[in-house]
Structure 1
Amino acid sequence: MTQCQMLLMLEALMNDNKRLPQTPYNTRHRIRQLAYFQMIHKSHLVCREITRIDRRTLIILCNLLKIVAGLSWIEIVDVEEMVAMFLYVLVHNVKNRIIQQKFVRSGETDSGHFNLVVFAVVRLYDEMIKKPVLVTNNCTDQHWKYFEVGVVHVNCLGALLDVTYIKVNVPATDRPTFRTRKGEIATNVLGVCDTKGDFVYVLAG
């Protein structure tokens, strides 16, 4: 079967997912691989549209989930595809039926893999979230000591940053909502940074 024929079958299967079990196993597997390639590896723009991150970031996240959280591939679904399905659900807020059509998988498979990735992401807590160092009343940095004494109480986390705009990459249909007075596509962000200038809390919107 040529790639052109597989693309035509893929389009038909995505429109009518019930036809998938009627095809031979090897053909189904190749069609799934092609569907995933079309979404993630065909171009950076398509990958961003599907997952909201580029391929490099997706690979880094997958490596963290494998090495730190112990996430491993199940049957014929590798970690990268599981993470892509997980991100697609979060980004687009879609039902399981849409994932079945998009990734050419069964609903039971999609649900199980989503749960596996959720548990793995939770296990990244200690690696990704660091406890900030509090600003105490014996702080030697004059700037931070003044901030601690004059503005807030002892053991504060840091300084609250207001009216900070961060550029975002959103679909064309959502750009009017995120367009600033200067014409940039950005969102307003509140954040708390520690004495080293590292963000310890971020609230977008």
Structure 2
Amino acid sequence: MNRMIYETDRRCVDELRMDLHTFSKLCSMLRATGRLHDTRNVSVDEMVAVFLNVLAHHKKNRVIQNDFYRSGETISRYFNAVLEAVLCLQNELLKTPEPVHENSTDERWKWFKNCLGALDETYIRLHVPEVDKPRYRTRKNEIATNVLGGSAADSRILRDAISRRHGLRVSRGNYYLVDAGYPNGEGFLAPRKMTIDPEENELNEDIYNQEEDDVITSIDSSEEWAVWRANLADHMFNEWRENRNPR
């Protein structure tokens, strides 16, 4: 632990993706939940370090065994214990959105009354060294990371959140805006493909046909045109001949 975590701030960030101060604060918050306690052989700090190391580097149980000199059973048991403790922090770390009020006069929101917000990837702001900032800079020029980017399909994430015992619940009359990757149902409003109104389609065709009638796109050959052209040629030839042979 001393070598992997407490040696330097840089080493802590490399191993756990957070500095020593943040790591210490997280351990204190998890202790406060009452779900994590120091045991005779394993401290809360080590439990949390194991948990974060797995998440940060997607390491397998066998690799973590070698890094922390613990059995596979110990690694699995404390990983799950820390995970349950982290989930208990949801009320402190996540804020429940307030719906747009019925009497809202804000032009931006008057069409979204009772809307709780939008469901999609979540960007979390980060504090990273200057050299790493370009990697985390978003289109809004913020330093953040996308916590759901490429992890799973949108519909699978929503289905899992709803099916949990204490999962996502949307109160009646309220809703979330979702993109086309989510299902459209009660509490979740997704865009749909607009169908063309038959009457509107016929009207557009009539207007198009009328405009086409007013535009000359080609000239069909006709007998009248051929006769007129022949008469003009004869007239021009007669004039030329008279000019060549004046009386």
TM (normalized to structure 1)?
0.59
Q: How many residues were matched structurally?
A: 142
- Helix, strand or coil: the match of 2:39? coil
Compare the two structures and name the one with the higher helix fraction.
Answer: 1
C-alpha distance 67-135 of structure 1, shift in aligned 2 (>3 A)? same
Aligned position for 1:17: none
Residue of structure 2 equivalent to 1:147:
108
1:167–1:185 contact (8 Å) kept in structure 2:
no
SS at match of 1:154: coil
- Structure-2 residue corresponding to 1:135: 100
CA drift at 1:134: 1.7
Alignment-derived partner of residue 186 in structure 1? 136
Question: For residues 146 and 137 of structure 1, do their structure 2 counterparts lie closer, same or farther at Cα, with a shift above 3 Å needed?
Answer: farther
Cα separation, 1, equivalents of 2:95 and 2:126: 25
Structure with the bigger RCO (C-alpha within 8 Å, sep 6+) is 1
Q: Does 2:29 match 1:64?
A: yes
Structure 2 unmatched ranges of 5 or more: 141-145, 150-247
Identical-pair percentage: 36
Residues 68 and 166 from structure 1, CA distance in 2 versus in 1: closer, same or farther, beyond 3 angstroms?
Answer: closer
The Cα of 1:67 is off from its aligned counterpart by: 0.7
Q: Which residue of 1 aligns with 2:56?
A: 91
User: Separation in 2 of the partners of 1:131 and 1:103?
Assistant: 38
Alignment root-mean-square deviation, CA = 3.3
Task: Give 1:203 shift.
Answer: 5.5
1:204 and 1:169 mapped to 2: Cα distance?
19
Alignment of 1:99-114 (within 5 A): 99-114=64-79
Report the secondary structure of 1:132's partner residue: coil
Q: Is the 8 A contact 1:189 1:203 kept in 2?
A: no
Bigger radius of gyration: 2
More strand by share: 1
Q: 1:89 to 1:189 in 2, by over 3 A?
A: farther
Q: 1:92, CA displacement in angstroms?
A: 0.6
Within 5 A, what are the aligned runs for 1:3-152?
36-139=1-104, 145-149=106-110, 152=111
| Residue segments in structure 1 that go unaligned for 5+ positions in a row | 1-35, 191-201
Q: 1:95, CA displacement in angstroms?
A: 0.6
